[in-house]
Structure 1
Amino acid sequence: MIIGTAGHIDHGKTALVRALTGVETDRLKEEKARGITIELGYAYQAIDPAVPDGPRLGFVDMPGHERFIQTMLAGASGIRFAMLIVAADDGVMPQTIEHLHILQLLGMRQGAIVITKIDLVDRARIEQLQGELETLLAPTFLYAAPVFFVSSISGDGVPQLKAHLLAAASQWHRQNDQPAPLQEHQQDARQDPLQGRHASLFRLAVDRCFSIDGRGTIVTGTVHAGALQVGETVTLLPSSRGGRMLSARVRSMHALDQAVPRCSSGQRVSLNLVGLERSEIARGDWVVAETISHVSERIAIDLALLPGSRVLKHWSEVQVHVGTAHATAHVALLEGDQVAPGGSMLAELALEVPLHVCHGDRIVLRDASGTIGGGSVLDAFVPLRGKRALHRLALLGAQREHLLAQTLKTILELEPRGINLAPFAANRNLDAAVTLTLLAQLDTCNFKTREGHYACASAHWHTMQQLIVQNLEKFHASEPDNAGVERERLRRQSLPTLSAEVFAQLIASLIDEGRVLMLHNVFVALPAHSVLFSESEQALWERIVPLLSEQPFQPPRVRPLALTLGLEEEQMRKLLSKSARLGQTYRVAHDHYFLSDSVSALATHITAIAEVNGNATVALLRDRIGTGRKLAVEILEFFDRMGFCRRIHDRHLIRPSCIWLQSA
C-alpha cells in the first residue's frame, strides 16, 4: 500500500516519515540546505519485520510549498492512503486546505489525520486545533478518520500511528492480492477508482526517470491498473510530444524497493526499460500495455467545482492535472454557459497537448488562484460534432455509471445502429476477454468486423431487419420487373450510416431466417417475388449465353450480338437489360453486358493485381486479361461505380468492404 503525506510546508511531513521508517526522503542538496521538500521522496518497509520479503508499505513524501503544488499532484495521483499532517503550533494553513481539496478531488477514500509538533504546544492549543479540524473535515472523506498526536523529535505517538498504518496496509493487501474477477470493474462510485484493477490493461504514470551506468533507463511510478511481467513489451505514451508512441522491453523491475518478476495495480515500481533513452521520457508520460495506443486532445469529464471557487465560464482557461501529467486547456461546458461554485456539469477539456486518459481517471483543475475543482474522465474518444446534442449528453450520462454491464446496456439502447466496441473497451481500459464476458451478459447481436467487434442490442437489430424488409416490399411494388435491388443501393436507401460490412451481416441474418433471398451475391429480394424470362425470351437467352461466354472478358456488344442472331438491336438491348435485372449479367459499359460469373472472375483478377502491387492500374489489368486499353478502362470504371474500387489518379484501390471480396 502506498501512503502519501499531505499538508502545509514545514509541518513536519518529512520528519514524520523519517520517524516512521528511519529513511531520509530529502535526497537533493537544495532540499537539505533549505530544509524543505522540493521533489517527491520515497521510503519503504516490510509490513511484518519478521518477513522482510513479504508485503511492504510505501511512503510518498510530497512537498508542501505552494510553488511545488504540481509535484505534489504528481505524487498524490498514485497513493491509496493519505496522511493529512497539521502542525500543532501553526494549525490549519492555506496548503493544508488545498492539499485536502486535492485529495478529495482525486477520489481518496482512506486516510488519517496526524497532528505533529505536539511537544511545542499545550493541551488547550491541541483541543482548539481539534475543533478547527472537525469543522474543516466534516464534508470530506476524512470526517471519521482517526486522529494521531505525535512528536517526531521525542517519538511520542509514533508507535501508535505506525501500528495503525501497518494494520491498514495488511488489510489492503489481503483485499488486493486476490485474483480480480469481472466485478472489479463494477465498482460503486464511492469506492476507490484505482482499486481492484488487476484484470485491466497495464498503466503506469511516470513520476521519475533516470539512467544508471550498466543498466540503462529507469522509470518509476505507481501502477494505476493491470499487471506486468519482466520481459514483456510496453508502449510509452508521451504527454507532451504530439502523441508520438515509443515501445520498450522490460528488462527488470522493482516493486517497493524489492526485485520482483511481476507488478500489479496499486504498487509503486521502477522499471528498467530496454529500447528507450533517458531523454525520450519525462514525468507525465505513461508506460502502458503494448495494445494501448490512444491519446486525446479533447476529453469529456464530469466536472465539479469546489464550493469556494470562482464562477467558471464557458471556454475558461485552466491547468489540467491527471496522473503525473499536466497541460493547459479550455473548458467547454456542455449543459450551460457557466458553473457556480460548488456546482457540477458535463464538460469537455480542449487540451493544448494530447494526453493519455481512460474512463475514471481523476482530474484536478487549477487556475492562477489555486485549485478550483476537478472531475472524473467519462470519455477519451470525443466526437467532432454534436457535442451538446441530447443524444450525446445521454451517452455521457450513461458513462457516469460504474457498473460496466449496465453502462454498455444503456449505450446499446441509445445507439439504434449499434457500435464498434473498440473505443468503448479502450476508454474503459478493458482487455478483449472482459469485453466478451460483458457481451455474454447482454441480449445483443455481435460479431467481429475489420474495424473491431460490433455489437447491437437485439431489439435494434430486429428493427433494422424489419426496415429492410419494408423497403424491399416498396421496391418490388414500384419496380416489379426487377428481380431485386443491389445490396449497396438497398443499404443507402435503408441504413446509409451503417457500414457495408455490418449491412452484409444484417442481410445474411435475414437470409438465414428465410426472410430474403440473395441473387448472384448482389441483388436482394423477398422470397415471394419472382421475375422470369418468358418462354420465348428464355429460348433466346440460351442462344446468347454461349456467345457471351466465348470471350468472357471481352464479350460482344449489343449490335454484334443482334447481327449474329438476326435480331433487331432494340430487341437485343431489352433482353440484355432484363438479364441484368434478373442478375444474369452486368452492364459494364454502354451496350456492353458481361455475365455475372465473368464479373466475379474480373474482381478476382483485380484483387490479385492489388495484392501484388498495392493497387490496380489500366495497364496491369489489360496485360493480365489480354484486352485492349479502352476496355480495361471501362472495366475499372465499372468497378469504381460499383464501390469495389476507389480511384486515386491512375490507381484503383480495393475497398475492404466490397461485395465481391465478401463473397470470395
Structure 2
Amino acid sequence: MIIGTAGHIDHGKTTLVRALTGVDTDRLPEEKARGISIELGYAYLDVPPGSGLPAGQSAPERLGFIDVPGHEKLVHTMLAGASGIDFALLLVAADDGVMPQTREHLAVLSLLGVTQGIVAITKADRAEPARIAALTEDIRALLVGTGLDDAPVVAVSAPTGQGVAELRERLFNTARRLPSRHVHGLAPRLAVDRAFTLDGVGTVVTGTLHAGEIAVGDELQLSGSRARVRSLHAQNRSVERAHAGQRCAVALAGIEKQQAPRGAWLTAPHVALTTERLDAQLRLWPGEARPLRSGARVHLHLGAQDVMASVAVLDGDLIEPGASARVQLVCHAPVGAWRGDRLVLRDAGATRTLAGGSVLDPFAPTRYRRTLERLSELDACSQPTLARRRERLLTLSALGLDLARFAQAEGLAEPLQGWALGEDAGAALTTCLCGMLADYHAKSPDELGPDAARLRRLVAPRMAEALWRDVLAELRDGGRIAVRGAFVHLPEHGVRLSAAEQRIAQKVAPKLAMAGAEGAWARDLAKDCGEPEALMRTTLARLAQQGELHQVVKDLYVDTATMTRLAATVRRLAGEAGHVAAAAFRDATGLGRKRAIQLLEHFDRVGLLRRVGDEHRLRADSTLFAAADQ
C-alpha cells in the first residue's frame, strides 16, 4: 500500500512520517536548512502479520510513504507523488487548524479519486481537548462530499508519541484489508518522478508502478528509447519482480539520465504512446466560484507530468461547479495517457486546483469531436469493464475496430493485431458492396468489374485498407463475390469473349510469354498476329479486365504468369526491410530502369505495394499473386 501525506506547510508531515517509520524523508541540504520538504521524500514500514484478512489474501510486505511538500508553490510536486497513492494521510495542525493548502490538497485527493484515508490532527500536545474536539468537527464538515467522508480523525503528537502507535496500527489494519491492484492482463507502466545516476549501476529511475509487472531483464521503453532492466528495487528492497502499487527504483541499461525527465513513462514498448489530444470525463471542484468554459488554458497533471493544455467542453460549452462533463484536452506538449488514468487540472497561473477526472480516449479526434457518433463512442469508453468497452466500440465502429490501437489505449499486456468488424456493420457493408457491384455490372456489362481499390472508394473510402482486404477475402471465400486478379465482380457476372476475341487471345498468349517482364505493346502484337490494331486493343483490354493479362502502362501488357514471378521477386527483395528499391528490382530482373519503375508503380496501383515517398513498401497482408507464388 502506498500512503501519501497531504496538508499545509509546517503541519508536521515529515515529522510524523519519521515517528511512524524512523526515516527522515528530507534528504536535500536545502530541506535540512529550511526545515521544509521541497522534493518528494520516501519511507517504508514493514507490516506485521495480523488477523482479519479476507480468505486467500496475504498481508502486504511493507507500506510505502510518499512525503510531499506542503508549500503552495510546490503543489505541482505534490501532484507528481499523489497520482500513484492508495491511501491519504491528511494532516491538520492543532494550533493552526484548516489552512489553504489543507483545502487544496484535499481537493487534489478527491479529484484523483482517493477514497481511503485518515486525518491526523498533529501537534496535539499544544492544544486543549476542547480545541481538538472543535477542530475534529471542522474537519468532519470539510470532508463531506470529498470521497473521504468516513475517514477516521485521530489526534497525534510526534514529539511525545501521543496517538502514534494507534495511527500506525490503523494503517496496518487498512493495509491488511486493502485489495491488491489489478496486475494480470495489463502491461507495465511506471510514472517517473525522479532519475539519478549511481556509480557502477548507471541510470536509475524511481516512481510508482501504476499497472502490470516489471522484472529484471525486461526490455522497456522510455522517452522513445529502449532500455533493459538491469536491477530492481520495490518498496526499498532488492527484488527480481515488482507489481502494480509498489514504489520502484529501476536501474536501466541503454539510457541516460537526461532521457528520463519527471513525467516520462517507463512502459512495455507495445503500449508506449504519446498524445496531444485526449478526451476525458471531468468534474469541476464544487468550491470553484465560476464555471469552466471551453477555451480555458490549464495545467494538466497526469501521472508525474505537468503540461499546459486547452479545454474544449464536449457536453455544452461550460461545466458548472460540482458538475461533470466530457471534455477534450488539447495539450501543448505530448503526454502519456491511457484509458482510466486519473488527471487533475489547475488554473493557468498554477494558483489553485480546478477539476479532476479520468481519461476516456487518448486518441481523441481533431474533427467531429462533438458529433452524436463520437459522443456514443465516449459512452462506450466509459463502460466499467474491458469486455463491455470492446463490445460497445465494436458495435459502433461501422468502419471496424483497430485492435492494436484498442489494446494500446487500454494498456493491455498482450498486444492485439488486425481489425474487427461487428456483425451488424459487416452485414450492412456486404449489402452495400453487393448492391454497388450489381449497379456497376448493369451500367458496364462488358467489363468484368471494378478493381478492388476503386470499389473501396465507391463503398467505404474511409475504411482501413487492411480491413477492406479482409472483408473481400471473407466474401470471396463465402461465395458472395468473385475476385480475378485485381478485379471484383459478382459470381454470376462474367465477360464473355467473342469468337474473334478468343482467336486473338490464343494468338497473343505465346508472344506475351516470350516477351516476359519487358511486356508487349498492343500495336506490335497486332502487327505480329496480323489483326486490326483497334480489335487487338479491345481484346487485350477485355483480357486485362478478366485478370488474364496486366496492363502496366497504356497499351503495354504482361501475362499473369510473368507478373506472378515478378511479384515473388518483389516479396523476396522486400525481406525484413519491408520495401523494395527500384535499383534492386532492376538488377534482380535484368530490366532497364524505366521498365522496372513502371512495374513497381503497377504493383502500387493494384495493391501489392504502397508508395510512401520514394519507397515502394510491401503490403504484408496483400494476397495478390500469393497463391501462385508459394
Q: Does residue 225 of structure 2 align to residue 246 of structure 1? A: yes
1:299-378 mapped onto 2 (5 Å cutoff): 299-309=278-288, 310-367=290-347, 368=349, 369-378=351-360
SS at match of 1:155: coil
Equivalenced residue count is: 616
| TM norm structure 2 | 0.90
Q: Does residue 499 of structure 2 align to residue 516 of structure 1? A: no
Contact 2:110 2:148 in 1 (8 A): no
**Hey, what's the Cα distance between the residues in 2 that align with 1:463 and 1:496?**
15
Deviation at 1:639, TM superposition (A): 4.2
Amino acid at match of 2:305: A
Task: Identify the residue that residue 245 of structure 2 maps to in structure 1.
Answer: 266
Task: Identify the residue that residue 44 of structure 2 maps to in structure 1.
Answer: 44
Task: Identify the residue that residue 126 of structure 1 maps to in structure 2.
Answer: 132
Deviations 1:129-170 (A, max 9, x none): 122122111112221122212222222222221111111112
Deviations 1:502-548 (A, max 9, x none): 222212211222222222x3222222223323445434432332233
- Structure 2 regions of 5+ residues with no counterpart? 51-58
Task: Identify the residue that residue 181 of structure 1 maps to in structure 2.
Answer: none
Q: Residue 545 of structure 2: which of 554, 571, 581 is its match?
A: 581
Deviation at 1:92, TM superposition (A): 1.2
Deviations 1:613-650 (A, max 9, x none): 95443x76666555667655654554454455566898
Deviation at 1:563, TM superposition (A): 3.9
Task: Identify the residue that residue 532 of structure 2 maps to in structure 1.
Answer: 568
Amino acid at match of 1:257: N
**Hey, what's the Cα distance between the residues in 2 that align with 1:169 and 1:496?**
55
**Hey, what's the Cα distance between the residues in 2 that align with 1:153 and 1:325?**
36
Deviation at 1:573, TM superposition (A): 3.1
Q: Structure 1 residues 538 and 121 mapped into 2: Cα distance closer, same or farther (>3 Å)?
A: same
Deviation at 1:171, TM superposition (A): 2.0
Q: Structure 1 residues 659 and 94 mapped into 2: Cα distance closer, same or farther (>3 Å)?
A: same
Amino acid at match of 1:211: T
**Hey, what's the Cα distance between the residues in 2 that align with 1:229 and 1:621?**
45
Q: Residue 208 of structure 2: which of 219, 222, 227 is its match?
A: 222
Contact 1:88 1:120 in 2 (8 A): yes
Q: Residue 527 of structure 1: which of 460, 470, 491 is its match?
A: 491
SS at match of 1:98: helix
Q: Residue 458 of structure 1: which of 423, 430, 435 is its match?
A: 423
**Hey, what's the Cα distance between the residues in 2 that align with 1:3 and 1:113?**
12
**Hey, what's the Cα distance between the residues in 1 that align with 2:388 and 2:538?**
58
**Hey, what's the Cα distance between the residues in 2 that align with 1:390 and 1:515?**
33
Task: Identify the residue that residue 54 of structure 2 maps to in structure 1.
Answer: none
Task: Identify the residue that residue 296 of structure 1 maps to in structure 2.
Answer: 275
Task: Identify the residue that residue 562 of structure 2 maps to in structure 1.
Answer: 598
SS at match of 2:516: coil
| TM norm structure 1 | 0.86
Greater alpha carbon shift after TM alignment, 153-162 vs 409-418: 153-162
SS at match of 1:552: helix
Q: Structure 1 residues 228 and 565 mapped into 2: Cα distance closer, same or farther (>3 Å)?
A: closer
**Hey, what's the Cα distance between the residues in 1 that align with 2:18 and 2:553?**
86
**Hey, what's the Cα distance between the residues in 2 that align with 1:111 and 1:105?**
14
Q: Structure 1 residues 204 and 526 mapped into 2: Cα distance closer, same or farther (>3 Å)?
A: same
Q: Does residue 375 of structure 2 align to residue 396 of structure 1? A: no
Q: Structure 1 residues 112 and 601 mapped into 2: Cα distance closer, same or farther (>3 Å)?
A: same
**Hey, what's the Cα distance between the residues in 2 that align with 1:478 and 1:129?**
85
Deviation at 1:4, TM superposition (A): 1.6
SS at match of 1:553: helix
Amino acid at match of 1:216: G
Amino acid at match of 2:467: V
* CA RMSD, 1 decimal: 2.8
Deviations 1:264-312 (A, max 9, x none): 0011121222233334333222222233331122222212211122332
Q: Residue 410 of structure 1: which of 392, 398, 403 is its match?
A: 392
Q: Does residue 437 of structure 2 align to residue 472 of structure 1? A: yes
Deviations 1:237-277 (A, max 9, x none): 3xxxxxxx223222222222221111100111212222333
**Hey, what's the Cα distance between the residues in 2 that align with 1:126 and 1:629?**
90
Task: Identify the residue that residue 4 of structure 1 maps to in structure 2.
Answer: 4
Q: Does residue 395 of structure 2 align to residue 425 of structure 1? A: no
Task: Identify the residue that residue 53 of structure 2 maps to in structure 1.
Answer: none
Amino acid at match of 1:384: T
**Hey, what's the Cα distance between the residues in 2 that align with 1:49 and 1:412?**
47
Deviations 1:344-389 (A, max 9, x none): 2222222222121211111111123311112211121222322222
**Hey, what's the Cα distance between the residues in 2 that align with 1:651 and 1:453?**
23
**Hey, what's the Cα distance between the residues in 2 that align with 1:627 and 1:268?**
62
SS at match of 2:421: strand
Greater alpha carbon shift after TM alignment, 311-320 vs 263-272: 311-320
- Structure 1 regions of 5+ residues with no counterpart? 177-194, 238-244, 436-451
Contact 1:481 1:581 in 2 (8 A): no
Task: Identify the residue that residue 235 of structure 1 maps to in structure 2.
Answer: 221
Contact 1:44 1:59 in 2 (8 A): yes
Task: Identify the residue that residue 55 of structure 2 maps to in structure 1.
Answer: none
Task: Identify the residue that residue 493 of structure 1 maps to in structure 2.
Answer: 458
**Hey, what's the Cα distance between the residues in 2 that align with 1:377 and 1:32?**
38
Deviation at 1:235, TM superposition (A): 1.6
Contact 2:60 2:176 in 1 (8 A): no
1:175-190 mapped onto 2 (5 Å cutoff): 175-176=179-180
Task: Identify the residue that residue 201 of structure 1 maps to in structure 2.
Answer: 187
Q: Structure 1 residues 49 and 565 mapped into 2: Cα distance closer, same or farther (>3 Å)?
A: closer
Deviation at 1:41, TM superposition (A): 2.1
**Hey, what's the Cα distance between the residues in 1 that align with 2:162 and 2:602?**
89
Contact 2:209 2:245 in 1 (8 A): yes
SS at match of 2:441: helix
Amino acid at match of 2:204: I
Deviations 1:431-454 (A, max 9, x none): 227x6xxxxxxxxxxxxxxxx421
Contact 2:280 2:360 in 1 (8 A): yes
Deviations 1:105-146 (A, max 9, x none): 111021112122222222222221122122111112221122
